[in-house]
Amino acid sequence: MAVDVLLGLQWGDEGKGKVVDFLAPGYDVVARFQGGPNAGHTLVFGGRKYVLHTIPSGIFRDNIINLIGNGVVIDPITFAKEIDMLRQAGVPYSERLRLARKAHLILPSHRYLDAATEAAKGKARIGSTLKGIGPTYMDKTGRNGLRVGDITSAGFEEKYQSLKSKHLTLLKLYPEIDFNLEQEEARWMESLDVMRNIVMVDGEYYINELLEQDKNVLAEGAQGSMLDIDFGTYPFVTSSNTITAGVCTGLGIAPSRVAEVIGITKAYCTRVGSGPFPTEQDNETGEFLRREGGEFGATTGRPRRCGWLDLPQLRYTAMLNGVTQLAVTKIDVLNNVEQILAATHYRYDGQETHQLPYDVDATPIEPVFRQFPGWKQSLAGIDRYENLPPAAADYLRFIESELNIPIAMASTGPERESLIVRR
C-alpha cells in the first residue's frame, strides 16, 4: 500500500506528535525518517503528558509497528531514557518498536563537538539543541559514522575507539570546552545494551515488505521545513532533509509510494533558536502568544520566539513538500485575541512578492499583514468543523484559499481528543 507523510511546515513544534498519536490507529506502521533527539514531540492523553525524542509517536497505540528509520540519528542515552519512560507507563514497547540497522549513532564526543563548535560561533550561533545532531550527520556524510548495526558486530569496540580518538583530536581545537568523557562513555555503553534488546531490521527491506503486504505507513517528520538543510533559513537550520524528499532516503522507499502529504502548521508561528523570522513579534503580542500557547521547548525548555502566521513562508513549504492536506493546530491559543494578523506577502528590495529571498537573514523583509477579527470564545467541546465560531471559520478559510490546500484537521487543545477531523 502507500506511505502517508505528516511533517511540519514551519520551524518545528507544530504539534506533530499530537496529531501522529491521533492518526496512528489508522495505520500499521509509524516511522521516523530523519532528525534525532533534537526533536521533542508531546502527547497528552489520560491526564498525562509524554515527550518523545527518538521513538515514533505511534508507540502508545496497540498493534502498530514503530520504526526508527535509517535517516534518524540516535543517542543511546536518550533512547534508553525513553524506553524507561515507556516501561514505567506499562507500554509493551518490545513488540511495537523496530530499529533500522543503518541509522547512525550519536557518541558522547559528538555532543561535545556540538557544544564546542556552537560556542566558537559566538554571536553567529545557530541555537542548536546541542544534542550532537550536526557532528553526527557530518560523520555520516564524511563516511566515518557508527551505525546501529555495528553494535552487534565484533569490530565495534575498535570502530568506536577510532571515531572517539578522531573527535578528541578535533576537540583540542577548543580547549575551553570542559567535559567528563569517561562518565558519559560508561552511561553510553550501558545504554547500548538497551538498544541490543530491541529488534533490529534492515529497514529498507522491512518497510517495503510491509508495503507489499498492503500495510499502511505514516511517516512522522521531525523539526520543520524551514529548518531543512537545503531549503531552510541556512545556516540557521538542522542537518537533515526535513521535507517529504527525506522520507525516501530516510526509510528506503520510492517516491511513487508516497500518497498523502499532511502539512502541519500552527494558527500562528514560532521558532526556537537563532535565525530569521519575518513575522516575529518581539513585543507584548509575542509574549501573549508565548504565555497562551505555553511556548517553551519540549527538548530544551527554552522560550520559543512567537509571531503571526506567514503565508509566503507556508506557500514555500507547501510547494517543497507537495502538501495535499493541512492540519492547523493551536487555534485555541488565539481565543482571546482581538485582532489576528497574518502576512499575505513581503516587501523587500522595492518589490512586493510572495517569494522568500535567497538570504532571508541578510534581507530586511517587511511582512504585509491582513487583519482578522478574533472569535473571543472558548473552542472547548467543539467536535465538528461546521460548529467552529464564524470568525474562526473565516480565518481558516483564508488559509485554505491562500494555499489552495484543504484543511483536513483542526486542533483546539493539547489533548488527544481536542482534534476536529473534517468530514
Catalytic residue numbers, as ranges: 13, 41
126 binds, among ligand GDP, ligand IMO, Mg ion, none (CB under 5 to 8 A by kind): ligand IMO
Choose the binding region for ligand GDP from 64-72, 123-131, 210-218, 325-333 (rule: CB under 6 A): 325-333
CA distance 347 to 62: 50
**DSSP characters over 19-44:** HHHHHGGG-SEEEE-S--TT--EEEE
Nearer to ligand IMO, 115 or 407 (CB): 115
Instruction: Confirm or reject binding of residue 40 to Mg ion (CB under 5 A).
Output: yes
With CA atoms as reference, report the closest residue to 337 among 279, 277, 287. Answer: 287
Q: What residues contact residue 121 under an 8 Å CB cut-off, 6+ apart? A: none
- If binding is defined by CB under 5 A, does position 36 make contact with Mg ion? no
By CB under 6 A, residue 223 contacts ligand IMO: yes
219 sits near ligand GDP (criterion: CB under 6 A): no
Minimal CB distance to ligand GDP: which residue? 42
Touching Mg ion, residues 282-321 (CB under 5 A): 298
The CB-of-72 to Mg ion minimum distance in angstroms stands at 15
Q: Which 125-154 residues touch Mg ion, going by CB under 5 A?
A: none
Which amino acid would we find at residue 349? D
Contact with ligand IMO (CB under 6 A): which of 273, 278, 312, 367?
273
Nearest 5°: the CA angle 7, 214, 411 is: 30
| Placement of cell 548495526 in the chain | 149
Note whether 35 binds ligand GDP by CB under 6 A: no
Written as one letter, the residue type at 6 is L
Q: Could you tell me if 262 and 323 are in contact, meaning their C-beta atoms sit under 8 angstroms apart?
A: yes
In three-state secondary structure terms, 181 is helix
Residue of 104, 28, 58, 422 lying closest to 220 (CA atoms): 58
Q: How far is the CB of 331 from ligand GDP (least distance, A)?
A: 6
User: Which uninterrupted H or E stretch holds 321?
Assistant: helix 311-321
Cβ proximity to ligand IMO, 370 vs 416, nearer residue: 416
How many residues interact with ligand IMO (rule CB under 6 A)? 23
x/- mask, ligand GDP, residues 280-319, rule CB under 6 A, reads: --------------x---x---------------------
Residue for grid cell 522507499: 253
Residue 347 sits at φ, ψ, to 5 deg, of -120, 125
**Interaction mask 130-169, ligand IMO, x per CB under 6 A:** -x-xx-----------------------------------
Question: What span, in angstroms and rounded, lies between the C-alpha atoms of 324 and 284?
Answer: 35
Q: How far apart are CA 276 and CA 74, in angstroms?
A: 28
Contact between 285 and 30 under an 8 Å Cβ cutoff? The reply is no
Name which of residues 337 to 376 contact ligand IMO (CB under 6 A). Answer: none
Give least dist CB 292 to ligand IMO, A: 19
Cβ-based neighbours of 405, under 8 Å, separated by 6 or more: 263, 318, 323, 324, 325, 326
Minimum separation from the CB atom of position 220 to ligand IMO (A): 9
Q: How far is the CB of 165 from ligand IMO (least distance, A)?
A: 24
In the complex with ligand GDP, which residue's Cβ is closer, 56 or 108? 56
- Pick the binder of ligand GDP from 34, 38, 42, 136 (CB under 6 A): 42
312 touches, from Mg ion, ligand IMO, ligand GDP, none (C-beta below 5 to 8 Å by class): none
